[in-house]
Amino acid sequence: MAPDLIPLDASRMLTAWTPQPAVILGCLLLAGLYLGGAARVRRAGGHWPVARTVSHLGGVVALGVVGLSFLAVYDDTLFWTRAVQGVVLLLVAPLLLAAAAPLTLAQRTLPTAVRARLGRIRRSRATRALTLPPVVTLLLIAPPFVLYLTGLYDLVLRSTVVSGVVSLALLGAGFVYVASRLQIDPMPRRWLAVCGRERSRLLAFWVSGRGTGSESQARGAGPLA
Protein backbone atom coordinates (compact mmCIF):
# COMPACT_ATOMS: atom_id res chain seq x y z
CA MET A 1 0.00 0.00 0.00
CA ALA A 2 1.22 3.49 -0.83
CA PRO A 3 2.76 5.16 2.22
CA ASP A 4 0.50 8.25 1.94
CA LEU A 5 -2.73 6.22 1.65
CA ILE A 6 -4.65 5.45 4.83
CA PRO A 7 -5.36 1.71 5.24
CA LEU A 8 -8.84 0.79 4.06
CA ASP A 9 -11.39 0.05 6.76
CA ALA A 10 -15.17 0.30 7.15
CA SER A 11 -14.99 4.01 7.87
CA ARG A 12 -12.84 4.71 4.81
CA MET A 13 -15.29 2.78 2.62
CA LEU A 14 -17.86 5.45 3.44
CA THR A 15 -15.66 8.54 3.46
CA ALA A 16 -12.98 7.93 0.82
CA TRP A 17 -14.21 9.64 -2.34
CA THR A 18 -12.28 11.17 -5.21
CA PRO A 19 -13.57 13.98 -7.47
CA GLN A 20 -12.98 12.74 -11.00
CA PRO A 21 -14.31 15.40 -13.44
CA ALA A 22 -14.58 12.99 -16.38
CA VAL A 23 -16.60 10.48 -14.36
CA ILE A 24 -18.88 13.16 -12.91
CA LEU A 25 -19.48 14.71 -16.33
CA GLY A 26 -20.12 11.34 -17.93
CA CYS A 27 -22.63 10.34 -15.26
CA LEU A 28 -24.43 13.68 -15.49
CA LEU A 29 -24.66 13.39 -19.28
CA LEU A 30 -25.98 9.82 -19.13
CA ALA A 31 -28.60 10.73 -16.56
CA GLY A 32 -29.54 14.06 -18.12
CA LEU A 33 -29.95 12.79 -21.68
CA TYR A 34 -32.05 9.83 -20.58
CA LEU A 35 -34.28 11.86 -18.25
CA GLY A 36 -34.69 14.48 -20.95
CA GLY A 37 -35.70 11.84 -23.49
CA ALA A 38 -38.20 10.23 -21.11
CA ALA A 39 -39.71 13.64 -20.32
CA ARG A 40 -40.02 14.40 -24.02
CA VAL A 41 -41.92 11.16 -24.61
CA ARG A 42 -44.34 11.99 -21.80
CA ARG A 43 -44.82 15.59 -23.00
CA ALA A 44 -45.81 14.19 -26.39
CA GLY A 45 -48.50 12.11 -24.72
CA GLY A 46 -46.57 8.85 -24.81
CA HIS A 47 -45.76 6.39 -22.08
CA TRP A 48 -42.32 5.58 -20.73
CA PRO A 49 -42.15 2.99 -17.91
CA VAL A 50 -40.82 4.28 -14.62
CA ALA A 51 -39.03 0.94 -14.12
CA ARG A 52 -36.82 1.70 -17.12
CA THR A 53 -35.88 5.11 -15.76
CA VAL A 54 -35.07 3.61 -12.38
CA SER A 55 -32.93 0.94 -14.06
CA HIS A 56 -30.99 3.56 -16.03
CA LEU A 57 -30.36 5.71 -12.97
CA GLY A 58 -29.23 2.60 -11.12
CA GLY A 59 -26.68 2.00 -13.85
CA VAL A 60 -25.46 5.59 -13.61
CA VAL A 61 -25.12 5.27 -9.83
CA ALA A 62 -23.14 2.05 -10.30
CA LEU A 63 -20.75 3.87 -12.64
CA GLY A 64 -20.43 6.72 -10.17
CA VAL A 65 -19.58 4.36 -7.33
CA VAL A 66 -16.96 2.63 -9.47
CA GLY A 67 -15.32 5.88 -10.53
CA LEU A 68 -15.67 8.08 -7.45
CA SER A 69 -15.87 5.97 -4.29
CA PHE A 70 -13.20 4.13 -2.31
CA LEU A 71 -13.06 1.64 -5.20
CA ALA A 72 -11.45 4.36 -7.30
CA VAL A 73 -9.30 5.70 -4.46
CA TYR A 74 -7.72 2.30 -3.80
CA ASP A 75 -7.86 0.75 -7.28
CA ASP A 76 -4.12 1.22 -7.83
CA THR A 77 -3.29 -0.24 -4.42
CA LEU A 78 -5.68 -3.11 -3.66
CA PHE A 79 -6.27 -5.68 -6.37
CA TRP A 80 -9.75 -6.63 -5.15
CA THR A 81 -11.04 -3.08 -5.59
CA ARG A 82 -9.90 -3.12 -9.22
CA ALA A 83 -11.55 -6.55 -9.65
CA VAL A 84 -14.83 -5.23 -8.25
CA GLN A 85 -14.64 -2.33 -10.68
CA GLY A 86 -14.23 -4.80 -13.54
CA VAL A 87 -17.27 -6.82 -12.51
CA VAL A 88 -19.45 -3.72 -12.20
CA LEU A 89 -18.28 -2.31 -15.54
CA LEU A 90 -18.62 -5.59 -17.41
CA LEU A 91 -21.81 -6.97 -15.87
CA VAL A 92 -23.72 -4.86 -13.35
CA ALA A 93 -23.81 -1.43 -15.02
CA PRO A 94 -24.42 -2.84 -18.54
CA LEU A 95 -27.34 -4.92 -17.25
CA LEU A 96 -28.99 -1.90 -15.63
CA LEU A 97 -28.34 0.39 -18.60
CA ALA A 98 -29.46 -2.11 -21.25
CA ALA A 99 -32.59 -2.96 -19.27
CA ALA A 100 -33.52 0.72 -19.53
CA ALA A 101 -33.92 0.38 -23.34
CA PRO A 102 -31.86 3.45 -24.30
CA LEU A 103 -32.00 2.68 -28.03
CA THR A 104 -35.79 2.46 -27.94
CA LEU A 105 -35.88 5.81 -26.16
CA ALA A 106 -33.56 7.25 -28.80
CA GLN A 107 -35.77 6.06 -31.65
CA ARG A 108 -38.73 7.84 -30.08
CA THR A 109 -37.00 11.16 -29.43
CA LEU A 110 -34.17 11.73 -31.92
CA PRO A 111 -34.67 13.61 -35.22
CA THR A 112 -35.58 11.49 -38.24
CA ALA A 113 -32.22 12.02 -39.96
CA VAL A 114 -30.27 10.88 -36.89
CA ARG A 115 -32.59 7.90 -36.44
CA ALA A 116 -32.04 6.89 -40.05
CA ARG A 117 -28.27 7.10 -39.65
CA LEU A 118 -28.39 4.95 -36.53
CA GLY A 119 -30.59 2.50 -38.36
CA ARG A 120 -28.03 2.13 -41.13
CA ILE A 121 -25.36 1.44 -38.53
CA ARG A 122 -27.58 -1.15 -36.86
CA ARG A 123 -28.17 -2.97 -40.15
CA SER A 124 -24.53 -2.83 -41.29
CA ARG A 125 -22.49 -5.99 -41.78
CA ALA A 126 -20.04 -4.96 -39.09
CA THR A 127 -22.77 -4.55 -36.49
CA ARG A 128 -24.45 -7.80 -37.47
CA ALA A 129 -21.11 -9.59 -37.17
CA LEU A 130 -20.44 -7.97 -33.79
CA THR A 131 -23.75 -9.26 -32.44
CA LEU A 132 -23.32 -12.87 -33.52
CA PRO A 133 -23.90 -15.10 -30.45
CA PRO A 134 -20.31 -16.46 -30.39
CA VAL A 135 -18.89 -12.95 -30.77
CA VAL A 136 -20.90 -11.34 -27.97
CA THR A 137 -20.12 -14.30 -25.72
CA LEU A 138 -16.44 -13.75 -26.42
CA LEU A 139 -16.90 -10.06 -25.57
CA LEU A 140 -18.08 -11.12 -22.13
CA ILE A 141 -15.52 -13.85 -21.46
CA ALA A 142 -12.33 -12.48 -22.99
CA PRO A 143 -11.82 -9.09 -21.25
CA PRO A 144 -10.72 -10.44 -17.82
CA PHE A 145 -8.16 -12.72 -19.48
CA VAL A 146 -6.84 -9.92 -21.68
CA LEU A 147 -6.70 -7.48 -18.76
CA TYR A 148 -5.10 -9.66 -16.10
CA LEU A 149 -3.02 -12.15 -18.09
CA THR A 150 -1.21 -9.69 -20.33
CA GLY A 151 0.86 -6.57 -19.83
CA LEU A 152 -2.27 -4.44 -20.09
CA TYR A 153 -2.90 -4.48 -16.35
CA ASP A 154 0.49 -2.90 -15.64
CA LEU A 155 -0.32 -0.15 -18.14
CA VAL A 156 -3.67 0.43 -16.45
CA LEU A 157 -1.95 0.91 -13.11
CA ARG A 158 0.57 3.37 -14.55
CA SER A 159 -1.64 5.45 -16.85
CA THR A 160 -4.89 7.23 -16.07
CA VAL A 161 -5.66 7.46 -19.78
CA VAL A 162 -5.21 3.73 -20.35
CA SER A 163 -7.29 3.02 -17.26
CA GLY A 164 -10.11 5.18 -18.61
CA VAL A 165 -9.99 3.58 -22.05
CA VAL A 166 -10.06 0.08 -20.55
CA SER A 167 -13.00 1.03 -18.34
CA LEU A 168 -14.96 2.28 -21.35
CA ALA A 169 -14.05 -0.87 -23.28
CA LEU A 170 -15.32 -3.08 -20.46
CA LEU A 171 -18.55 -1.11 -20.26
CA GLY A 172 -19.03 -1.25 -24.02
CA ALA A 173 -18.33 -4.98 -24.26
CA GLY A 174 -20.72 -5.70 -21.42
CA PHE A 175 -23.44 -3.51 -22.91
CA VAL A 176 -23.24 -5.18 -26.32
CA TYR A 177 -23.51 -8.60 -24.70
CA VAL A 178 -26.40 -7.73 -22.38
CA ALA A 179 -28.35 -5.73 -24.97
CA SER A 180 -28.00 -8.56 -27.49
CA ARG A 181 -29.02 -11.06 -24.83
CA LEU A 182 -32.04 -9.24 -23.42
CA GLN A 183 -33.39 -8.13 -26.82
CA ILE A 184 -35.34 -5.24 -25.27
CA ASP A 185 -33.95 -2.72 -27.74
CA PRO A 186 -34.05 -3.27 -31.52
CA MET A 187 -30.94 -5.31 -32.32
CA PRO A 188 -29.34 -6.46 -35.60
CA ARG A 189 -30.03 -10.09 -34.66
CA ARG A 190 -32.92 -11.67 -32.78
CA TRP A 191 -31.63 -14.47 -30.60
CA LEU A 192 -31.98 -15.88 -27.12
CA ALA A 193 -29.79 -18.52 -25.54
CA VAL A 194 -31.95 -21.52 -24.70
CA CYS A 195 -30.66 -21.93 -21.14
CA GLY A 196 -31.81 -18.45 -20.11
CA ARG A 197 -34.83 -17.81 -22.30
CA GLU A 198 -37.49 -17.57 -19.63
CA ARG A 199 -35.28 -15.48 -17.34
CA SER A 200 -34.58 -13.01 -20.15
CA ARG A 201 -38.25 -12.73 -21.04
CA LEU A 202 -39.15 -12.07 -17.43
CA LEU A 203 -36.56 -9.30 -17.11
CA ALA A 204 -37.64 -7.79 -20.44
CA PHE A 205 -41.26 -7.72 -19.28
CA TRP A 206 -40.37 -6.18 -15.91
CA VAL A 207 -38.34 -3.29 -17.26
CA SER A 208 -40.73 -2.50 -20.11
CA GLY A 209 -43.88 -2.18 -18.07
CA ARG A 210 -45.90 -3.07 -21.18
CA GLY A 211 -43.73 -5.61 -22.88
CA THR A 212 -40.48 -5.77 -24.85
CA GLY A 213 -39.08 -3.16 -27.17
CA SER A 214 -40.28 -5.01 -30.27
CA GLU A 215 -43.82 -5.02 -28.86
CA SER A 216 -43.56 -1.28 -28.29
CA GLN A 217 -42.64 -0.87 -31.95
CA ALA A 218 -45.71 -2.82 -32.91
CA ARG A 219 -47.82 -0.36 -30.95
CA GLY A 220 -46.56 2.55 -33.01
CA ALA A 221 -43.20 3.61 -31.64
CA GLY A 222 -41.72 3.07 -35.09
CA PRO A 223 -38.58 1.14 -36.04
CA LEU A 224 -35.11 2.52 -35.82
CA ALA A 225 -35.04 3.28 -39.53
**Tens-of-pLDDT digits for all 225 residues of the chain?**
444 667 777 778 888 888 889 999 999 999 999 999 999 999 888 889 999 999 999 999 999 999 998 888 888 888 888 889 999 999 999 999 999 999 889 888 888 888 788 778 777 888 888 777 888 888 889 998 898 888 888 898 888 899 999 999 999 999 989 888 888 877 776 765 434 454 455 455 544 544 444 444 433 444 454
53 CB-near residues (< 8 Å, 6+ apart): 34, 35, 38, 100
pTM of the model: 0.76
> Exposure pattern of 91-101 as b/e (b: 16+ CB <10 Å)?
bbbbbbbbbbb
**Could you state, in order of their start, the residue ranges of all structural domains in the chain?**
19-113+121-216
